[in-house]
Amino acid sequence: MSTMKAIRFPKFAPDESTLEIAEVPVQAPAAGEVTVKINYAALNPVDNKVLGGHLEGAGWAHPIPFYPGYDFSGTIETVGEGVSGFAKGEKVFAVNWGEGKHDDSSKTIGSAFAEFITLPAKKVSKIPEGLNMKTAAAVPLAGTTAWQALDKGEVKEGSKVLILGAAGAVGMIAVQLAKLRGAKVFTTCSSRTLEFVSSLKAADTIINYTETDWSAEGGEKDFDAVIDTIGEADVFTKAKKVLKSDGAFVTIASFDAGFDPKAHAPLRFASFMCLSNDTKVQDDLAALIVAGKLQVPLNKEMDFSMENVKALYQVQRDGKSVGKNLLVVASE
C-alpha cells in the first residue's frame, strides 16, 4: 500500500502548535469515490476555527485526529467502482465539505492538506479549459458560500443589496456575483483595501467602514438583502435598521439572528447559513472565471512543508488576507 504526507492534529489548540505532518496510507476509493493527487489546496478562516475546537463546540462531527483542508485541485489518480465520467489524469477541483454543516453521511470531510485525497465523486468538478489549477483550488469553498448566500437572500436583477466585507474571499466573490445578477451593490471595506475593492468594478457604492458606520442615521436604507461575511458586533440589530421590512438578512459569520430563517417575520429570511457541496455551483463559478467575469485573486502561496503550513495558518488567522492563501502540494 502506498503512503502519503498529510497534515493532521491530534488535539484542539488556539494556534498551530498541535499541527503535525504524518506519513499515512493513501486510501483506496470505495464505491462511488475517487482518489485525487493534489496539486494545490487553499486555506479558509474555518481551518483555524476547526483547529480551535469551535466546530465541535457547535455540535458538528469532528473526529480526532482530524485531517484538515477543504479546497483543492489536482488530477484523478484512481476511480472507484460505479463512478463514471472521470479518468486517471483528468484535472479536477472540489471542496470536501458537508451538507450545510461539518458532517457528511458518506465519510469524514476535510483532508485536503495532503498529497492525495479520497472522497465521493459527486463532490468533484472537472477543471475546464482556461481555468488554471491554482484558481480552481481557491474558488470552491468561498465561491459556493457566496453563491448560496445570494440565493438565500434572493439577490437578483434590480435587488438593492448590502454585502458586508468585500475584501474577504467570500465577500469579493459575492459582490462580483451580485453585480452579474443585475443587483445594485453596496459594500464595505477599510481604507487599506479600498483600492482593491474598487478594482473589482462590482460595487456601485463602497462604504469605508473605518470612516462611516453603514447603519448610521441618514445613511443608505431600504435594502432588499444584507449579506454579512464579517460577523461584527450587533450586526443583526444594525442590519434591521437598513433593511426593508420584508428584507433578507443572510450571515455566514454571526449567530445573532439564530438558525431559523423564518423566526424574524416580516423579514423573509434572517439566519446564519452554512455552505453545502454543490458541483453545479462549482461548475458555474468555473465558467464565470473562464469567461473573464469573475476574479479570485491569490494572497500568498507556499510549498508543502510543516513550517509553511503553520505560517499559512497564521496568515489566515491575521484576518488581513486579500485573496486566497494557497498550499502548493505539487506544482502543476
Ligand X SMILES: NC(=O)c1ccc[n+]([C@@H]2O[C@H](COP(=O)([O-])OP(=O)(O)OC[C@H]3O[C@@H](n4cnc5c(N)ncnc54)[C@H](OP(=O)(O)O)[C@@H]3O)[C@@H](O)[C@H]2O)c1
CB of 63 to ligand X, least distance (A): 20
Residue with cell 454543516: 101
Query: Looking at 68-76, 104-112, 137-145, 215-223, which segment touches ligand X (CB under 6 A)?
Result: 137-145
Asked if residue 169 binds ligand X (CB under 6 A), the reply is yes
Pick 29 or 98: Cβ nearer ligand X? 98
27, β-bridge pairs: none
Q: What is the DSSP string of 206-259?
A: EEETTT--TTSTTS---EEEEEESS--TTHHHHHHHHEEEEEEEEESS--TT-S
Of 22, 18, 25, the C-alpha closest to 7 is 22
Pick 26 or 230: Cβ nearer ligand X? 230
Q: What does the per-residue mask of binding to ligand X show for 258-277, with x meaning CB under 6 A?
A: ----------------xx--
Pick 141 or 326: Cβ nearer ligand X? 141
Q: Which amino acid is at 321?
A: S
Pick 10 or 100: Cβ nearer ligand X? 100
Q: What is the DSSP string of 193-217?
A: GHHHHHHTT--SEEEETTT--TTST
Asked if residue 320 binds ligand X (CB under 6 A), the reply is yes
Cα separation, 325 vs 299, in Å, equals 5
Asked if residue 193 binds ligand X (CB under 6 A), the reply is yes
Binding residue for ligand X, selected from 262, 319, 331, 332, defined by CB under 6 A? 319
Query: Looking at 28-36, 122-130, 258-266, 315-323, which segment touches ligand X (CB under 6 A)?
Result: 315-323
For Cα atoms 328, 330, 332, give the angle at the middle one, nearest 5 degrees.
100
In the complex, the residues that contact ligand X under the rule CB under 6 A are 44-46, 49, 141-142, 145, 164-165, 167-171, 188-190, 192-193, 209, 229-232, 252-253, 274-275, 319-322
